[in-house]
Each structure stands twice: as structure tokens, then as C-alpha cells.
Amino acid sequence: MKIVIVGSAELADKIIFISEELKNLGYETEIPYTVSKIKDGKFTTEQFRKWKEEKGGDYFLRDKSRVDFIKRYYNLIKNSDAILVMNCNKNGIKNYIGGNALMELGFAYVLDKPIYLYNPIPKMSYTDEIKAVKPIIINGNLKKIKNREKCDHKSAGMLVWKNSQLLLIERKRYPWGFAPPAGHVDDSSSFGSAARRELEEEVGLKAKKLKLVAEGRKENKCHRENGNWHYWKIYEVEVQGNIKKNVKEVKQIGWYGKDKFANLAKRTQKYLAGEIQEDKWQESPGIEPVWHEWLKELKIID
């Protein structure tokens, strides 16, 4: 699920923090253009505030930029699943929502996207218009954001071998860990077609031949709503093409032999035993726990 964060660049630090928190919860995020520049170190929040005071507003940034800020945000919202408005205190008004944010609320409403407000609706001249778009108020609790993606409880996993080495990816989001390419069946007509789709989507390879080697239910969680178990089908796959990493989903990709497997498996065992804290696991994980189970059952690891 992708969430577009709406808010003033003067709240850059807060927006960047919330963006990272949402990513840790398994969401993709988009942040305002100016905030992205602050995040990248092009200038600071204080410099931005100073420029606004000197120039009488931020139009000078819009005028100089090749980016059409309004069209950019419309397109981001159009291609997202929801927006989160960071309506914090500003200009002496509690939970302020400015003109740009109001326009973006309108975009989201017309595009039928859920609208979340970080704080309650402010008392302003256009309070009624804000109420009319039916925002969901989360009162600072990001866990109140509902993932629109429903888990279908069906997953396909793909084992791709090359000279006794197995292709593994490290995921960029929950569930953290190293794993073979895998994904939900979703709208695919079968587990097999889902396997082909996910293989190409995650690592850029086309499946020539699928061989079912295992199947069954696992009590593994995913980032989707109600995603607390899955029925799996695991395939060995003959492939063609060149590896191409999906940069949105995959942190790294590579071929792993017995020694590398052993090290990753040991780290997973320590994590499952409670010897590795969650933040350390996210920074440097082992094999994703559900795949640790499958690889043991398939006698790929001890």
C-alpha cells in the first residue's frame, strides 16, 4: 500500500520521521518535493523558512523548479492508495490545513482515495469543506491506517538454482529477511501463474518450467490486512533472461551456497530464540522465518 504524505515543508523533520515509521509498518510512501530536497541535504528547514520570509512565500521555489508541484502531487495521489495529511499547529491555528493541502484533499476525494488526518479537523473558514471529504482522524496513531490490500492467504515461492547456489533476495519491507522470490496469488488464475508473475516482477527472470516440490499451510504473517497465515506452493523453476532487481521491493539479490546459507540460518535461529532484537534484525536479518521452515523441510539447510 502506498501512502502520499501531505504537509508543509516547514514540518520536514516530522514528515520524514513519519515516512520512515510508515515504511517500518510495511507501507510505501511519497513525500512533498521540497521535503525530499531537505531530506537529501539540498538545504535545511531553517533555510527554507528564511527564504519564505524574505520572498514573502514559497512561490519562488515553484517558479524556479522544472517540476509542476500541483500536477506532480495530483499524479502521486492518483497512483497511491491513500493520503495522510500532517495537519499540525501553524500560523497560530491548531491542526492547520493550508491551501495546498486543501487542494490535495480535493484530489484524493475525487479520486476515491482514503483521506487520513494526523490530527483533528481545524477550525478554519473552510472547515465544512474539510468535513465534506470525510477524512479519517488518526490522532497521531499510524496503526489506525487501514491497509486496503486484503491478504488472500495464498503464496507461491520459487527456488531458482545455479551451480548448487540458490537465488535469494533481501526484502525492503516486512517480513524482513533473505528469501527466494515469492508473492501472493491475488488475481492470478493459479499458483503457477502467480509464480511466473512474481519471479519476473521481483528479479526480472522468466520461468521456462515449473516443478512443484512442496505445499502446505504456514502460520506466517505478511504486511497485508489479516495476513496471519498462508497456504504455500513451492516450485523449482528453470529460468531464462538476466536478473533485474525490483528496486522498490528488493534491497539486494544474489546467489547463495551452503556456507552463506549456514550463516544466515544461524542468525535466524538466534532471532527466533529471542537473542536478536527486532531493530537489529531489520538492519541485518537472516533467512525469513517461514523460508527457514521450508528450506529445512526440503533439506536444503540443516
Which domains does the chain possess?
Answer: 2-144 (3.40.50), 154-297 (3.90.79.10)
Closest CA to 261 of 161, 182, 155: 161
What are 75-90's pLDDT values in tens digits?
Answer: 888 888 899 999 999 8
277 in Cβ contact with 143 (< 8 Å):
no
Q: Are 122 and 93 in contact (CB under 8 A)?
A: yes
pLDDT one-digit tens code per residue, 9-45 = 888 999 999 999 999 888 889 998 889 888 988 888 8
Q: Which of 131, 83, 125, 126 is nearest to 107 (CA)?
A: 83
| Residue that has been written with the C-alpha cell 504455500 in this structure | 232
Q: What does the alpha-carbon distance between residue 8 and residue 14 come to, in Å, rounded to a whole number?
A: 10
Threshold 0.85, pTM exceeds: no
pLDDT of 129 higher than 90: yes
Helix 69-78 vs helix 99-110: crossing angle, to nearest 10: 30
Identify the burial level of 99 via C-beta atoms within 10 angstroms of its C-beta, where 0-12 means exposed, 13-18 middle and 19 or more buried.
Answer: exposed
Strand partners, 238: 209
pLDDT (tens digit, 9 = 90+) per residue, 225-252?
778 899 999 999 999 999 999 988 899 9
Residue 182 near residue 157 (C-beta atoms within 8 A): yes
Report d(CA 111, CA 22) in Å as an integer. 22
| 38 vs 67: which has the higher pLDDT | 38
C-beta neighbour count of 24 within 10 angstroms: 15
State the cell numbers at 255. Answer: 546467489
Cα–Cα nearest to 157, from 187, 186, 190, 199: 199
Q: What is the pLDDT of residue 56?
A: 60
Query: Which alpha helices (H) appear in the chain, and where do they start and end?
Result: 12-24, 33-39, 45-55, 59-64, 69-78, 99-110, 127-132, 191-203, 258-272, 278-283, 289-297
Mean pLDDT of 154-172: 95
Give the side-chain half-sphere CA count within 13 A for 10.
16
Long-range contacts of 125-134 (CB under 8 A, 24+ apart): 126/102, 129/102, 130/97, 130/102, 130/105, 133/105, 133/106, 133/108, 133/109, 134/109
How is 123-164 classified by DSSP, letter by letter? -STTHHHHHHT-PEE-TT-GGGSPP-PBP-SEEEEEE-EETT
Q: How far is CA 57 from the centre of its chain?
A: 33
Confidence of residue 63 (pLDDT cuts 50, 70, 90): low
pLDDT at position 107? 93
